[in-house]
């Protein structure tokens, strides 16, 4: 069996080196498209939608992302229908980031999939990996929320402003704090 490229290793969720030429090309593409998005006329919704459709792996009907928006690759992120992301979304999509329908994302939210080895040697040698993030339907992430690698947030869950989500949250709850903890159920 042929050895996997670093890009193939990244997409498979394995340790990889990010200085791979294919990954550099993909990163430059995402940076260029993000720059265009972040500097375009804010009243040109059709052009912004076209650009986001080109950048992202999926961009649902009626969804909106207010610039600035930053991502690693773009094609690793899918956003469902009628989702709204306020200013300053950072989506480090080394692994897949799946955002459901009708999600509300406050300003300055960070969705962070990359991980690095704990051991100093491999980290110094620049090995890294990533774990996917999944955000269910009708979730509300308050301003400044940080979601860490490998986290799934269940449908209808509300995450309070400034929370750091370090592990999965079930559906239909309110979670706050650092680390985020469930404080109550969401009323039906």
Residues annotated as catalytic (active site), given as ranges: 116
Q: 105, 85 in Cβ contact below 8 A?
A: yes
CA distance 175 to 163: 8
**CA–CA separation, 83 vs 173, rounded Å?**
19
Burial of 125 (0-12, 13-18, 19+ CB in 10 A): exposed
**Look-up of token digits 């940080």:** 146
């Amino acid at each position: 069996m042929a050895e996997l490229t670093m890009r193939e290793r990244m997409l498979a969720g394995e340790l990889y080196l990010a200085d791979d030429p294919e990954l550099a090309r993909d990163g430059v593409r995402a940076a260029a498209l993000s720059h265009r998005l972040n500097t375009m006329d804010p009243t040109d919704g059709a052009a912004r939608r076209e650009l986001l459709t080109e950048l992202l792996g999926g961009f649902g009907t009626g969804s909106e992302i207010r610039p600035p928006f930053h991502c690693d690759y773009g094609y690793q992120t899918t956003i469902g229908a009628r989702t709204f992301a306020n200013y300053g979304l950072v989506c480090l999509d080394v692994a897949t980031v799946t955002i459901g329908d009708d999600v509300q994302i406050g300003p300055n939210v960070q969705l962070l999939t990359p991980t690095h080895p704990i051991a100093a040697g491999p980290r110094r040698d620049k090995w890294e990996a990533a774990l996917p993030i999944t955000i269910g339907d009708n979730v509300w992430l308050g301003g400044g929320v940080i979601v860490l690698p490998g986290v799934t947030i269940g449908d209808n869950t509300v995450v309070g402003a400034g929370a750091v989500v370090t592990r999965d949250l079930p559906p239909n709850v309110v979670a706050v704090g650092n680390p985020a903890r469930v404080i109550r159920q969401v009323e039906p």
